[in-house]
Structure 1
């Protein structure tokens, strides 16, 4: 495959959003194929496109890549966004792993039982404000948001997705369960 990378996922942030950010940071245009129904997912599973029978999946450089970290590592290395040496890559990996941890909390919130939502939300707020945000706010926020390709991605009309809303959960449950 040549041309633009093709992203297969539902029309929302989830595990694909960090991949969108990386491609945006690299200034790479991409296409998106949104899963709208369970049949869309089943079709990808049956035609052998999904190595582990799950999305996200990105078609890039003749490959159908699965697993968000592997996809992210590939894109970062391909576009020289993965550090200049082993120490820089280790530091990048630490920041990435922390984002994955926080993102996991955020992504699972809409699926929490009603009686657990309040406590789950309190956990998210506590970890975000006391553990993760202080680290990123020390140097990243202003510097990263001023990179021209990121600045463009943060503008209205970009391929950046809005946060998942409660109203979207039933549709996702139909696709993935």
Structure 2
């Protein structure tokens, strides 16, 4: 695995999935080390690899990076997916932060005892707060910022696919977003990532939740 990017996380989506997406679009090969036991996590802690005792952790360019946003920004900068100047970057970051807020609500569902009210809240916020923003900005442009593919575009695709898994037809009232989604899936690297057998992870289930609970020594459902 020498020289190759290595991802340390669970064998599931979570916060690492956006990193997998961005590396895929940048056409960067990566290996994965899946955490399945608490001892693995404690070993990373004792080695000093986890600055804030958290994963995701990514080995890249001789560094051990943590904090999802920092990792995404590094990859975006390195592979020219972060705009042409500081004004582009701040717009990209605003879009990305909003998308991450929405995706994190979905990420928490597997750890939620009563998902029905959570689902209703997510659907409402997606339709009233988040999707209208992207529907408006995509009225003319092919991409969100500067006429050029960026990490925000990749996250928007990831987010809309997650939403459609939970709420089929949710994009019916957002034709510009749906057209954008169709354009993005025509990118060869993305097309390959969407095929069975890729490193894209499926929707989380008990096989994902159980190791997370065990590694972090969580015995009760999260609130």
TM-score, length-normalised on structure 1?
A: 0.91
What is the match of residue 159 of structure 1? 199
What is the match of residue 159 of structure 2? none
d(CA) in 2 for partners of 1:43, 1:81: 34
Asked if the contact 1:7–1:58 (Cα under 8 Å) also holds between the matched residues in 2, the reply is yes
Long gaps (5+) in structure 2? 135-155, 157-173, 218-223
1:75-118 deviation digits (Å, cap 9, x = unpaired) = 0000111111122212211221112101110111122233xx22
1:19-77 deviation digits (Å, cap 9, x = unpaired) = 00110010000000000111111111111111111100000000000000000000000
What is the match of residue 129 of structure 1? 127
What is the match of residue 113 of structure 1? 113
Runs of 4+ residues over 6 Å off in structure 1: none
What is the match of residue 14 of structure 1? 14
Q: How many residue pairs are counted as aligned between the two chains?
A: 175
Asked if the contact 2:10–2:35 (Cα under 8 Å) also holds between the matched residues in 1, the reply is yes
d(CA) in 2 for partners of 1:128, 1:156: 27
Local SS of the residue matching 2:54: coil
Q: Is 2:184 the partner of 1:144?
A: yes
Alignment root-mean-square deviation, CA: 1.8
TM-score, length-normalised on structure 2?
A: 0.73
d(CA) in 1 for partners of 2:186, 2:216: 36
What is the match of residue 84 of structure 1? 84
Local SS of the residue matching 1:8: strand
Asked if the contact 1:2–1:61 (Cα under 8 Å) also holds between the matched residues in 2, the reply is no
d(CA) in 2 for partners of 1:166, 1:15: 17
